[in-house]
Amino acid sequence: MRAVTTPSTAPNAPRAASVDVVLPCLDEAGALPWVLERIPPGWRAIVVDNGSTDGSADIARALGATVVHEERRGFGAACHAGLSAATADVVCFCDCDATLDPGDLVPFVRRIAADEADLVLGRRRPRTPGAWPLRARAGNLAVTRLLRRRTGLRLHDLGPLRAARRAPLLGLDLTDRRSGYPLQMVVRAADAGWRIAEYEVPYLPRTGASKVTGTWRGTWQAVRDMSRVLREDGGRAEDRRAARVAAPGAKGARR
């Protein structure tokens, strides 16, 4: 099996982009070989081990990935640790459970590199009826409706497959370290005026049990985390608007 960091001039890979792929990982030993084999040539895989006990970190390292350890449990904690460890101009995120093919990120990166979008998201299209359970779809629908009400964005999915430039992502100052991290990224990007695009991507049955949406309770907790993000970031946006209005010399400020 090839190393995931080997440079290549493959015609389908964006040539002008330096890319890191952040892969949050908690006990994904069974899925890692499949996922890492599909990292596009020349890109670097950053596997963020979030407390695995099944040897995931050793498997990832043996397959050529860069391994980062994040002791604080939480999807957002793992994602942000990977973002902080990234050095490439463009950073992608992908689940590590074999539901998504990191090779599908190539057109995402191409759009970022061409300055056609600032954040590209994957809209999941399940390949089989059981790939995306009803409870997970219901939670996703509820959150996208709340997002539309909050930002006006007409997105269909808040899936984990996404790409953006590293420096602006860090500039969003993301603070959520639980399930609300992907949503907070979108909300703050929208507030900052980013151009957000959506691509359809195949969604496959996962390897192993889901840590977030594997149960109704887990799905409900994820929706609660995301609802909290919308409330908190809504207040943050209002504070920024009020500060601009009240600033000396600002248009519309009191004299």
Predicted local confidence at residue 240, as pLDDT: 47
- What's the pLDDT at 7? 39
* Strand bridging mode 44-49 / 19-25: parallel
Print pLDDT tens along the chain (255 aa): 444 443 333 445 544 448 999 999 999 999 999 999 999 999 999 999 999 999 999 999 999 999 999 999 999 999 999 999 999 999 999 999 999 999 999 999 999 999 999 999 999 999 887 777 777 777 788 888 889 899 999 999 988 999 999 999 999 999 999 988 999 999 999 999 999 999 999 999 977 565 554 455 666 566 677 677 778 775 554 444 443 434 444 444 333
Q: What phi, psi does 148 have (nearest 5°)? A: -60, -40
Q: What pLDDT, on the 0 to 100 scale, is given for residue 50?
A: 97
- What pLDDT was estimated at residue 208? 59
Cα 135 from Cα 219, distance rounded (Å): 7
Q: Is 219 left (phi over 0), alpha (psi -120 to 50) or beta?
A: alpha
Contact 6, 41 (CB under 8 A): yes
d(CA 5, CA 40): 9
Q: Can you give the pTM of this predicted structure?
A: 0.80
Name the nearest CA neighbour of 105 among 130, 128, 122, 82: 122
Contact predicate 46/20, CB 8 Å: yes
Q: What distance in Å separates the CA atoms of residue 230 and residue 155, rounded to the nearest whole number?
A: 15
